Amino acid sequence: MPHPLIPGRMRIAVSALMLLAAPVAIGQWAQFGPPGITGSVTSIASAVGVLFAASLGGGVSRSTDGGQNWLPADSGLTNLRVTSLAVMGTRLYAATGGGGVFVSRDLGVSWSPGGPIVIPSNLLISNNVNSIAAVGTNLFVGPDSYGAFYSSDGGITWLPSGRGLVLDQVNAYAAVDTVILAGTASSGVYRTTDHGATWRQSNTGLTEPTVMGFARDGSQVLAATFGGGVFSSPDDGLTWTPRNTGLGSKFVLCLTAAPLAGGGTVLIAGTSNDGVFRSTDHGATWDTVGLVLSENTASALCVVGGVVFLGTRDGIVASTDGGILWQNAGHGLINSTVNSLWLDGGRLLAGTLTGFYASVDRGVTWTSMNEGLIPPVTAVAASGDVMMAGTSAAGLFVRGSADTAWRGTPLNSPAPPMIAAAYGVGRILLASPSGKGVFTSRDGGASWLFGQGTEGGLQGDLVEGFAAGGGVCYAASNGLGAFVSVDSGLSWTQRNQGMKDFHAHACVVNGGAVFLATAQGIFVSTDPEAGWFPQNTGLYNHSVTALAAADGIVYAGTADGGVFVTKDNGGHWSASNAGLPVMAIKSLATDGQFVYAGTAGGGTCRRAVADILSSLGSPVTGAQGQGAPAAFRLEQNYPNPFNPSTAITFTTLRSAHVTLAVFDILGREVARLLDGRFDAGSRTIRWTPGGGSGTYFYRMTITEGSTVLYSAARAMVYLR
């Protein structure tokens, strides 16, 4: 059942060995796990025997075997923050937070954008769509806080839905015979009996105005609210009565009714932080379900053929007995966010939002290693037979080869810090607790020594990356630049000569050169005491978030541009993104044979080094130097707000007709920046307004003949 952004973090404790690899085109990046998703499961849907699961950051996954195994289904889905799914016949619709509505006509194999959500003046309302539902031959959506919009042509055109519905965020829709109900974020329930032409507020007896979803149980309709629990209506939403006896939480995120094998129905309610509840007497009383969920949060429910599927922070569990017993049903959900990667001999280690995973077959299968650990995991490393896992709120943990669970460290006292980086060199461990500088351990994490030279200066600033080479250790500080240690981390010296940006995120040693990743690109030095030099030809001002190197080749992961490669020590960079599902890179690792990219929402992606090199050819230096683009994209303008001008960057997947126009707040076109045919690649165009200050919208449409291949719009603010 659809809902807006879920408060809090949600996890479920599941440990399994999973086969996750999917067939991909030769020579491209391929997703290889580890298991998990990014953002909670927001919606589960079924069409023609195929199951679909959506999440906030992980896009859409599909299962053709009743939920036993899942594969990503994101081709053409350029926005992975999917808030809701809807099915109309054989068509599947996905509402996204920032990309509008997408439609799939082949059961999730491929996606294309729907039309823009506009008012009659042709003014774009919003691409932030909170909910979508199919009612008869109409689609209804809830964009931002603009009430309800509808489409009668399959999502090509959208118009405001009638009168009377307050300008509020619509979280959910429900069809009850000839009545349509809309649940809003702060105004309760609205009701229409004329297919959305007119709406009336219908809150008699409803004491909580935040409505998250609906369910149908026989002749009654039930509403899930965030703060008031469950309400029932015997008259299609005209009046409401609370039904909360035994319900341990009134913060209900999702609600459904499922048939029981012996007859009758069971109601199942998923709550925020208080678990799952079930009722076999139509909501009169509720019992707690014995389902162990970390943080006790359930975010989506769907019933298919008597099987109840429950969406969580980790993925999906299923019940075939009306919610009494549950089992994992998320094998293959690999749209995880991978914060950190580490290669330790033949093992690949990954730290994700849901825990610590290890693979001994280059990412094909993964083993969960979360015993005694408190995710999310922000940093992983290993030295000798000791592994390290840094977390976002529980401090640093270590685990030896003979240990059956993780152990806390002295760094976690008196209060567990966030661990931004961990590193192993020889048998020495390095770690950076937030606001506490750098620490080193020489006894497997049992005791830690403070790194002199990081006191004071690093208080409140994060060391986000370490590297070592030639007997020297390097630290990348997000705020204070580069630090160097010649005694394995016992003392540190700041070295920033030539640096233009002290917000460093990662570092790596390549032969005799040290690479430093910053928000303004790459800096390289062969002697940090002498100074650093920018090496960004071909990087196009991307913020660099991760680095890896092997055999003289350096790989750079960026915040929004994918992976770049250099074969000449940073002299020229070329993009290598074919098949990469997500352009936001969190971590990189390479063993010389494969490169592993930890992404924000696409799991760990793997690509052979030989394929990367063969795709590059000569170093790219011209305006088309982004390599083969992975998708059509329209970037947010930069800077924003701006004065006197701003730059707009876009990417075309193939040769097509591109129109780029700017509109004022009234929907009037004030400038047409592009209107012609362009080859594949990325381009940047600069716009200087000729009118007054205020909010403007720019819209790009890519077409081939009469077919719209891509359409997107963004808002920008001009300050004078």
The verdict on whether omega for the bond into residue 414 sits within 30 degrees of 0, i.e. cis, is yes
The alpha carbon dihedral of 277, 280, 284, 287 has a sign of: negative
In this predicted structure, the answer to whether residue 270 has a pLDDT above a threshold of 80 is: yes
The alpha carbon dihedral of 65, 66, 72, 74 has a sign of: positive
Looking at 56-60, 294-298, 445-449, which range is the least confident one? 294-298
Could you write out the DSSP letters of every residue in 533-592? EE--TTTTTPPEEEEEEETTEEEEEESSS-EEEESSTTSS-EE--TT-S-S-EEEEEE-S
**Tens digit of each residue's pLDDT (9 = 90 or more) over 168-194:** 889 999 998 889 999 999 999 999 999
Question: pLDDT at position 275, please?
Answer: 86
In this predicted structure, the answer to whether residue 715 has a pLDDT above a threshold of 80 is: no
Q: Which residue in 239, 237, 227 sits closest to 273, CA to CA?
A: 227
Mean pLDDT score across all residues of the chain: 84
Strand, coil or helix: 86: strand
Q: Give the residue-averaged pLDDT of 693-713.
A: 83
Phi, psi angle pair for 103, to nearest 5°: -130, 140
In the chain, CATH 2.130.10.10 sits at 17-23+41-334
Higher pLDDT, 505 or 638: 505
528, 493 contact by CB (below 8 A):
no
Write out the CATH class of domain 17-23+41-334: mainly beta
Q: Which residue in 711, 719, 707 sits closest to 660, CA to CA?
A: 711
443, 406 contact by CB (below 8 A):
no
**358 vs 546: CA distance, rounded Å:** 20
Q: Give the residue-averaged pLDDT of 664-690.
A: 84
**379 vs 400: CA distance, rounded Å:** 17
**464 vs 504: CA distance, rounded Å:** 7
**414 vs 435: CA distance, rounded Å:** 14
Beta strands of 161-240 (E only): which ranges? 170-176, 179-184, 189-192, 200-201, 211-217, 220-225, 229-233
* Report field, pTM of the whole predicted structure over 0.95: no
Question: pLDDT at position 5, please?
Answer: 26
In the chain, CATH 2.60.40.2550 sits at 633-718
**Tens digit of each residue's pLDDT (9 = 90 or more) over 282-330:** 999 999 987 766 567 888 999 998 899 998 876 788 898 998 888 776 6
Q: What pairs with residue 441 in β-bridges?
A: 429
Contacts for 2 with CB less than 8 Å, ≥ 6 apart: 42, 43, 83, 84, 85, 95, 130, 131, 132, 133, 171, 172, 213, 300
Token pair, residue 478, equals 């997000």
DSSP summary character for residue 410: G
In this predicted structure, the answer to whether residue 620 has a pLDDT above a threshold of 50 is: no
Distance of CA 372 to the CA centre of its chain: 26
- The band of 23, judged by pLDDT with boundaries at 50, 70 and 90, is very low
The alpha carbon dihedral of 161, 92, 24, 351 has a sign of: positive
633-718: CATH number: 2.60.40.2550
Place of tokens 């008259």: 235
In this predicted structure, the answer to whether residue 603 has a pLDDT above a threshold of 90 is: no
Token pair, residue 48, equals 């023609």
Question: pLDDT at position 332, please?
Answer: 61
